[in-house]
Amino acid sequence: MKAYLLLESGDLFEGKKIGYNGTCVGEVVFNTSMSGYQEILTDPSYKGQIIAMTYPEIGNYGINSLDEESSEIFAEGFVVKESSQIASNFRKEKGLDEYLKLHKVVGIEDIDTRKLTKLIRENGSLIGVISSGDNLEEMKDMIKDYSIVGKDLVKYVTTDDSYKFEEELFRFDFEEDKKEHKSLYKTVVVIDFGVKKNILRHLNSAGFKTVVVPAYSTFDDIRSYNPDALFLSNGPGDPRGIEDKWIEEYRKAIERYPTFGICFGHQIIGRCFNIKVYKMKFGHHGANHPVKDLESGNISVTAQNHNYAVDEESLKDRGFMPTHINLNDKTIEGMRHRKLHLMSVQHHPEASPGPHDAGYLFKKFASMVEKN
């Protein structure tokens, strides 16, 4: 069955339908990961976006429930060059096409994804519509009416109720000797802007007792758990969409507890201290971004997923110092406060999917909490 992808630039791609039969609209971004499509699809940070994979064949090892980063697919749509008809893996439970249909996600394959990626690199992120029909005028109208800039998308992905998270990192049987048993037993409250399960697993592995609370929690809500630490999670869209009244509540908690923020949480920390946050041309989405730790000089290959960044000059004027930079475009990838026990990174050290180079940051956070 035919499907179409129309961009706000006017470019039209004709391909074949995969997944759900219907129409979707979103901000089209490209992801350079070669694998990990299931983790990418279930990452709540992709709410409001259509994901285009640059790797040519996607779906060849299938889907399994253990690799889900959340309970559903939050991406609006999915674009691939070729959706594999064969899925071979001893952990496989279902195929990609079946998975997309199950979650009512519209997709398209058999288009020139290299051309699409080049268009996004040249023009920046573009609003697009995928449709399994040929209703071109209706698709144009959907593009005109759609924007996620300045919008609060967190309300669509955050938890409704607080909960304890006790899952551990997945290990194969032959990795039993690699399991680490920590004895910190400090309580960390995680503000859920769209948190990924693997972040929570890493916090548990680092020795924390993990409590997840809704994004719209007050300082008193957070304090009621008598935490030893605070964590601000990843999340979707524009951090400038969160109302100022919540930013003030987060700031109170940050000033009280040792704090770590990742991705959206890193940007929210920036907002809490009046650091400028700006929209990037096409953002960073993939599992191969080189990041330099300015304190150690070490370089990590990292997983990333963000369209916004904090401004280097303004963070220096707010009591912060940069700790990490992206070696591709020199954007800020991490910062810490000069006086408060506060650190944050723009990339994803939980690496799901992606390399494990930056995993040391969870141990660094645990050490900071233990000392303070």
**Residue 24 annotated to the active site:** no
User: How distant, in Å, are the alpha carbons of 32, 92, 262 from that of 55?
Assistant: 7, 20, 26
The active-site residue, picked from 27, 39, 109, 350, is 350
Q: Per the residue annotation, which of 285, 324, 337, 348 is the catalytic one?
A: 348
What whole-number distance in Å separates Cα of residue 213 and Cα of residue 164?
9
Query: What are the start-end ranges of the E strands in the chain?
Result: 2-7, 12-19, 23-31, 49-53, 57-58, 77-79, 82-83, 106-109, 126-131, 163-165, 186-192, 208-214, 229-232, 259-262, 277-293, 299-310, 320-326, 332-337, 342-345
Residue pair 66/91 in contact (Cβ under 8 Å)? The answer is yes
Distance (Å, whole) CA 288 – CA 320: 27
- For helices 264-272 and 244-256, the axis angle rounded to 10 degrees is 90
* Gap between the Cα atoms of 194 and 290, Å rounded: 24
As a whole number of angstroms, the distance between CA 371 and CA 204 comes to 18
Is 348 part of the annotated catalytic residue set?
A: yes
The residue whose two tokens read 């923020």 is 261
The alpha carbon of residue 163 and the mean position of all alpha carbons in its chain are separated, in whole angstroms, by: 21
Catalytic residue among 68, 69, 249, 263: 263
What secondary structure letter does DSSP report for 180? -
Report, as residue numbers or ranges, the catalytic residues.
Answer: 263, 348, 350
